[in-house]
């Protein structure tokens, strides 16, 4: 039996300078999404504040919040009121000295349906996440919701085909990536284009290789380095929704706030996997070396 199209929404936005202002903007966006008929809404990575990983500061840990906590209470209440499946992204305080980059899913309810802790943690200029985040320990487990099984991953996870594949093998019906990625403003236009194209291409590849729709919601705007050492980050937006053959269903621009809406045909994964049966043809008898760091 065929499934009706799923209307999804991605809320791409800039940091508005305070937690209250960001949450107010999110609430306005969720109300707009619900009015447009969206059932599933994906927010960008660490949406309650600035992308704070441009430098290392122990004071920044004060931004972290418990899950559940005040942040999930407000978002959960909105998910229940607006009858939305909502994927949020928070800086989780699990215990003193133990913090995670965590996505939280609400299923038309104030109760938390599930969460995912970011597994791949970068440590690069302007992206010093290893200082703040402990690698996730919940594995690659989809979260069951009323709109389907969500394979929620976070930002840096999007460069790893293993993560998307494991979500697909566990039965995920959509892949979702809350994201915070951008350019060094000092890079030339050619380098900027290469980086953005690589980011889009690798994720479209995950959609194709697994025969699944994919949603990627990125930040936009320029955020300065609080330490004054770096040049800041110019987040490139470009949030998008792709179908199971990597086709664009919707794509945002590189700048500014945008509520991106798309209709996802949930039946197409079944149809595509019948003509491109990649899961059938996997040589699982020959993949043992994938668990090695490198073949010396």
Does residue 81 carry a catalytic annotation? no
Does residue 217 carry a catalytic annotation? no
Does residue 7 carry a catalytic annotation? no
143-145/148-152 β-pairing: antiparallel
Q: In what order do the strands lie in the sheet with 220-223?
A: 182-183, 233-236, 220-223
Question: Which has the closest alpha carbon to 182: 123, 133, 232?
Answer: 232
Q: Which of 92, 155, 173, 223 is catalytic?
A: 155
pLDDT bucket at 217, cuts 50 / 70 / 90: very high
All structural domains of the chain, each given as residue ranges with its CATH number in brackets, are: 6-291 (3.60.110.10)
- Note whether 73 and 105 are within 8 A (CB): no
User: What is the rounded average pLDDT for all residues in the chain?
Assistant: 97
Work out the average pLDDT over 126-147.
98
Q: What is the dihedral of CA 70, 15, 237, 145, to 10 degrees?
A: 10
d(CA 119, CA 130): 11
Q: In what order do the strands lie in the sheet with 174-179?
A: 143-145, 148-152, 174-179, 214-218, 240-242, 248-251
Other Cβ atoms closer than 10 A to 101: 28
Work out the average pLDDT over 181-210.
98
Q: Which of 92, 93, 115, 118 is catalytic?
A: 118
Helix (H, G, I), strand (E, B) or coil at 266: coil
What pLDDT does 240 receive?
98
Look-up of token digits 């930002």: 155
pLDDT bucket at 1, cuts 50 / 70 / 90: low
What pLDDT does 2 receive?
74
Give tens-digit pLDDT for 17-30: 999 999 999 999 99
What pLDDT does 101 receive?
98
Measured in degrees and rounded to the nearest 5, phi and psi for residue 269 equal -60, -45
- Note whether 250 and 213 are within 8 A (CB): no
Cis check for the bond before 57: say yes or no (omega within 30 of 0): no
| pLDDT of 289 above 80 | yes
Work out the average pLDDT over 193-197.
98
Helices (H) and strands (E) in the chain, counts: 5, 17
d(CA 241, CA 42): 11
Work out the average pLDDT over 236-251.
98
Give tens-digit pLDDT for 69-117: 999 999 999 999 999 999 999 999 999 999 999 999 999 999 999 999 9
pLDDT bucket at 32, cuts 50 / 70 / 90: very high
């Amino acid at each position: 039996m065929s499934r009706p199209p799923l209307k999804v929404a991605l809320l791409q936005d800039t940091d508005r300078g305070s937690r209250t202002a960001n949450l107010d903007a999110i609430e306005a966006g969720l109300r707009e999404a619900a009015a447009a008929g969206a059932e599933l809404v994906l927010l960008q990575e660490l949406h309650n504040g600035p992308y704070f990983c441009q430098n290392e500061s122990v004071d920044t840990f004060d931004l972290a919040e418990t899950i559940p906590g005040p942040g999930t209470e407000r978002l959960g209440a909105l998910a229940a009121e607006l009858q939305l499946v909502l994927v949020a992204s928070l800086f989780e305080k699990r215990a003193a000295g133990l913090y995670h980059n965590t996505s939280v899913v609400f299923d038309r309810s104030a109760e938390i349906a599930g969460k995912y802790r970011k597994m791949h943690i970068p440590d690069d200029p302007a992206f010093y996440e290893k200082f703040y985040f402990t690698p996730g320990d919940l594995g690659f487990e989809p979260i069951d919701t009323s709109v389907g099984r969500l394979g929620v991953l976070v930002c840096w996870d999007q460069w790893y085909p293993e993560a998307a594949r494991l979500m697909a093998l566990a039965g995920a019906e959509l892949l979702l990536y809350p994201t915070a990625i951008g350019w060094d403003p000092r890079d030339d236009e050619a380098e900027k284009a290469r980086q953005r194209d690589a980011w889009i291409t690798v994720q479209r590849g995950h959609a194709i290789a697994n025969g699944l729709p994919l949603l990627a919601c990125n930040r936009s705007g320029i955020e300065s380095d609080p330490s004054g050492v770096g040049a800041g980050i110019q987040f490139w937006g470009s949030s998008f929704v792709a179908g199971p053959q990597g086709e664009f269903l919707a794509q945002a621009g590189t700048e500014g706030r945008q509520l991106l809406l798309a209709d996802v045909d949930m039946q197409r994964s079944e149809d595509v996997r019948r003509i491109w049966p990649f899961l059938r043809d996997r040589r699982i008898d020959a993949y043992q070396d994938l668990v090695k760091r490198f073949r010396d």
